[in-house]
Amino acid sequence: MGRFGPAGSASFAVPVLVAVCLGLSACVNTTANVDPLVVDGRDGTARVAYPALMRIGMAARAGGDYANAVSVFRRAAEVAQRQAVPLVAAGDTLRQMGQANEAIVAYKGALARQQNYPLALEGLAKAYLGTGRPELAIDPLKIAHRDEPTNPSILLLLGVTSDFTGQHAQAQGYYREGLKLKPNDPALSLDLALSLALSGDYDQAVSILAPLADSPIASPRDRQTLALIYGLKGDRQDAARLARMDLNPAAVQHNLAFYETLRRLSPEARSRAVLSADGGSQAAWRS
């Protein structure tokens, strides 16, 4: 939530809700117990074993060769036809490529093999969010939450989904529940602060995010989300102070003007504008 474009760009387009991988770490741990190549004893033809295929696919993805990674994961899924993991890995990679609809197919395939597989449910929800259909993310997240009620990543996604569907109070409940399990988590704290701002509680939003944004480990996203909150509050001075930490003068003025435009909207229209704004959302959902 409250994500921006890449640091160092001319401007951080506009804040948007994302779940940080969201922490949203959707990567699958598929590198354990890797086997070497195996040989078919009947004809001597060398074949790649399933674990080795997964290792190759993960290496390709880590190297940015997403297309080949997807091909290898799909091959692994053919070799191990009962395994959900390779299809989840393919889905995660497809989201990184921006192919959310293809990813949805992969995650559904994984769920057909292993019903209620947590990483497939989480990935499916992220893919739906990435295609602008948050209402479709609710069911898989509810199933995941039922099975893993203390998973902070699921709680974060539930919060993001609730914010996207206009249920800010419910979203804040999920974030707070996640923070009880993972105190001071940056992603949960940032998303809670922006959700509070979207519902008009600017002072509490600032009190939650300011310690993070002012810390030595703060990211440009943290600072610029706080700048947005100050801007929505009408505190132009603090909004400009934070904006100048990462943006050039022209970008600072652009963002300040945008905040003023948001302030003139109704709360519902303001929320829609923030959530639908361009920025880092798509890249984050692919993470």
Tokens of 73: 């994961």
Tokens of 64: 């940015």
70 contacts 50 by C-beta, under 8 angstroms: no
Tokens of 81: 């036809």
Q: Mind listing the pLDDT tens digit for each residue in 176-204?
A: 999 999 999 999 999 999 999 999 999 99
pLDDT over 80 at 3, yes or no: no
Domains of the chain plus CATH, in order, are 38-285 (1.25.40.10)
Burial class of residue 154 (count of CB atoms within 10 Å of its CB; 0-12, 13-18, 19+): buried
pLDDT category at 94 given cuts 50, 70, 90 is very high
pTM of the complete model: 0.79
Compute CA distances 2 → 100, 103, 139, 244, 285, whole Å.
21, 24, 24, 18, 13
d(CA 150, CA 164): 22
Q: Mind listing the pLDDT tens digit for each residue in 223-233?
A: 999 999 999 99
Lowest mean pLDDT among 40-44, 91-95, 185-189: 40-44
